[in-house]
């Protein structure tokens, strides 16, 4: 029997999106052994996307933790998944055992690290004042929502997805919001200039103040330990009784590194999501893996990535190993806009835009002749077609896409029987 398949027991560290899905997929595939799902948070596994969206808009949208839970408590009992609340402090790879902060320990046949990531903070004076938030957990979101209810003016540092989603929710709750971004546009690392420009226009139209090319020098208090202003690098001061720091995350790799596993911008895994130790896998936000299409080593932060990784590990552990080759996709909701991204557009050299409605269009991103990614703004049908086309490797060439009357749906219909994309 191959190493890394059919273990007697599986211990999963991290009961978030990826950890939960690993346990659920193992049972769906008939895995008969013991499953222990260990999570540091004192709640059932839940989904994070609503935390920066509907959850913030107030009680009429999502009131209780239960609304976020991936499954109710009975599910875990029914599926014989042992849910343990606790912090894993170390792994002993030789003994195949993890230890928790309370002194307890669990032996494993296979260990899955699904430890996620922690939000970065700002290294400036005043970063520890009350009213200064980061957003990763349900607890963070509850604190942020309470702050928002009492806030007059909010400043968001960082125009990434989480910062902009919060800004949209805060504007919809009638708050003054300023977003401060060090680069010259929002979402610079994740979307094309065309799509970024749409979000700039959308936020300005809805009353969000956006300041680009600005760093933060310090946060100032009100004399009672609560934030009162943000000082920009150019010396300007923005009054703020709520500050959200949305400057990205750091993968949680400490356990893996201390156990001697290679770590480089995330826990290093191979195409089957195995670490250097064949009895330990790593998945989701904490894992750096080889992307099948480009060969680039990637760390992605998305629900789809965590779920896809989890399903692959469950397949391997139940005897069907394969290389991870799923097409990445992602979404974000802000005001009346949903952006959906299929594929990875970094390094593209040509853009073709479909649709002439400034609030509903798709941007096709090509590297050379090859379609690499499609960003769809309020065009869900394009997104679905793009996922199929990119998944099969039968995207249009730039000149085909630029021809009058071109649609992704019609192109898909012509290539329905096309070959499956070569991977690797
Ligand atoms: C506010 C917010 C909005 C988002 N919106 C979207 C969206 O719209 N679309 C999208 O695709 N993605 C979105 N994401 C990203 C998505 O939620 C993550 O990519 C996904 O949750 C990653 O799953 P994971 O299992 O890798 O990590 P997580 O879900 O973060 O789970 C990791 C868990 O491990 C626990 N843990 C860590 N170390 C230990 C330890 N030593 N012992 C025990 N437990 C430990 C942590 O406490 C945590 O509960 C959003 C994320 C956030 C925070």
> Over its length of 424 residues, how does the chain's per-residue pLDDT go in tens digits?
555 678 899 999 999 999 999 999 999 999 999 999 999 999 999 999 999 998 888 665 555 667 899 999 999 999 999 999 999 999 999 999 999 999 999 999 999 999 999 999 999 999 999 999 999 999 999 999 999 999 999 999 999 999 999 999 999 999 999 999 999 999 998 999 999 999 999 999 999 999 999 999 999 999 999 999 999 999 999 999 999 999 999 999 999 999 999 999 999 999 999 999 999 999 999 999 999 888 899 999 999 999 999 999 999 999 999 999 999 999 999 998 999 999 999 889 999 999 999 999 999 999 999 999 999 999 999 999 999 999 999 999 999 999 999 999 999 999 876 544 443 3
DSSP class of residue 171? H
**Domain boundaries along the sequence of the chain:** 9-118+254-317, 121-246, 336-414
| From 22, 46, 49, mutation site for ligand 1 pocket: most ligand atoms within 8 A of C-beta | 49
9-118+254-317 and 121-246 have identical folds = yes
73: buried, middle or exposed (CB in 10 Å: 19+, 13-18, 0-12)? exposed
How close is the Cα of 246 to the center of ligand 1, in Å?
15
How many residues does this entry show for the chain? 424
Question: What CATH number matches the domain at 121-246, 3.40.190.80, 3.30.420.10, 3.50.50.60, 2.60.120.1570?
Answer: 3.50.50.60
Q: CA 36 to CA 13: how far, in whole Å? A: 8
Pairing between strand 176-180 and 209-211?
parallel
How close is the Cα of 18 to the center of ligand 1, in Å?
8
What 3-state class would DSSP assign to 222?
Answer: coil
Question: What CATH number matches the domain at 9-118+254-317, 3.30.565.10, 3.40.50.10800, 3.50.50.60, 3.40.50.2300?
Answer: 3.50.50.60
Fold of the CATH domain 336-414: Enolase-like; domain 1 (3.30.390)
How close is the Cα of 118 to the center of ligand 1, in Å?
9
If you take atom 35 of ligand 1, which residue's CA is the nearest one? 14
pLDDT at residue number 57: 80
If you take atom 45 of ligand 1, which residue's CA is the nearest one? 14
pLDDT at residue number 15: 98
Site residues for ligand 1, CB cut-off 6 Å: 13-19, 38-41, 48-49, 51-52, 87-88, 114-116, 135-136, 162, 252, 255, 284-286, 301-304, 306, 330-332
What is the value of pTM for the model shown?
0.95
pLDDT at residue number 264: 97
Q: CA 263 to CA 173: how far, in whole Å? A: 42
């Amino acid at each position: 029997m191959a190493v890394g398949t059919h273990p007697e027991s599986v211990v999963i560290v991290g009961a978030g999106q990826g950890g939960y899905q690993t346990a659920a997929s193992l049972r769906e595939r008939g895995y008969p052994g013991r499953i222990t799902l260990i999570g540091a948070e004192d709640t059932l596994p839940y989904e994070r996307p609503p935390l920066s969206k509907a959850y913030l808009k107030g009680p009429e949208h999502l009131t209780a933790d239960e609304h976020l839970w991936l499954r109710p408590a009975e599910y875990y009992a029914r599926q014989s998944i042992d849910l343990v609340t606790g912090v894993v402090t170390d792994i002993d790879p030789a003994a195949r055992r993890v230890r928790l902060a309370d002194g307890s320990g669990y032996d494993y046949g296979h260990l899955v690290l699904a430890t996620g990531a922690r939000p970065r903070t700002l290294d400036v004076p005043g970063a520890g004042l009350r009213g200064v938030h980061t957003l990763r957990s349900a607890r963070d979101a509850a604190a942020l929502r309470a702050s928002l209810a009492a806030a007059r003016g909010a400043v968001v540092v960082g125009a990434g997805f989480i910062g902009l989603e919060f800004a949209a929710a805060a504007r919809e709750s009638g708050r003054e919001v300023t977003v401060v971004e060090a680069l010259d546009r929002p979402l610079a690392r994740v979307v094309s200039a065309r799509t970024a420009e749409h979000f700039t226009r959308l936020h300005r139209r809805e009353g969000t103040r956006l300041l680009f090319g600005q760093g933060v020098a310090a946060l100032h208090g009100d004399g009672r330990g609560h934030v009162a202003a943000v000082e920009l690098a150019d010396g300007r001061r923005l009054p703020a009784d709520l500050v959200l720091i949305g400057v990205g995350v750091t993968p949680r790799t400490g356990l893996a590194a201390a156990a001697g596993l290679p770590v480089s911008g995330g826990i290093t895994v191979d195409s089957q999501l195995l670490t250097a130790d064949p009895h330990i896998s790593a998945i989701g936000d904490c894992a750096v893996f080889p992307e099948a299409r480009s060969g680039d080593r990637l760390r992605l932060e998305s629900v789809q990535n965590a779920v896809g990784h989890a399903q692959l590990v469950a397949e391997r552990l139940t005897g069907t190993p394969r290389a991870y080759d799923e097409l990445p996709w992602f979404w974000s909701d802000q005001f009346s806009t949903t952006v959906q991204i299929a594929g990875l557009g970094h390094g593209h050299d040509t853009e073709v835009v479909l649709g002439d409605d400034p609030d509903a269009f798709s941007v096709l991103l090509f590297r050379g002749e090859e379609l690499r990614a499609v960003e769809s703004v309020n065009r869900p049908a394009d997104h679905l077609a793009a996922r199929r086309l990119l998944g099969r490797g039968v995207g249009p060439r730039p000149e085909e896409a630029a021809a009058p009357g071109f649609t992704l749906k019609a192109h898909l219909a012509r290539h329905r029987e096309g070959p499956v994309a070569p991977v690797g």
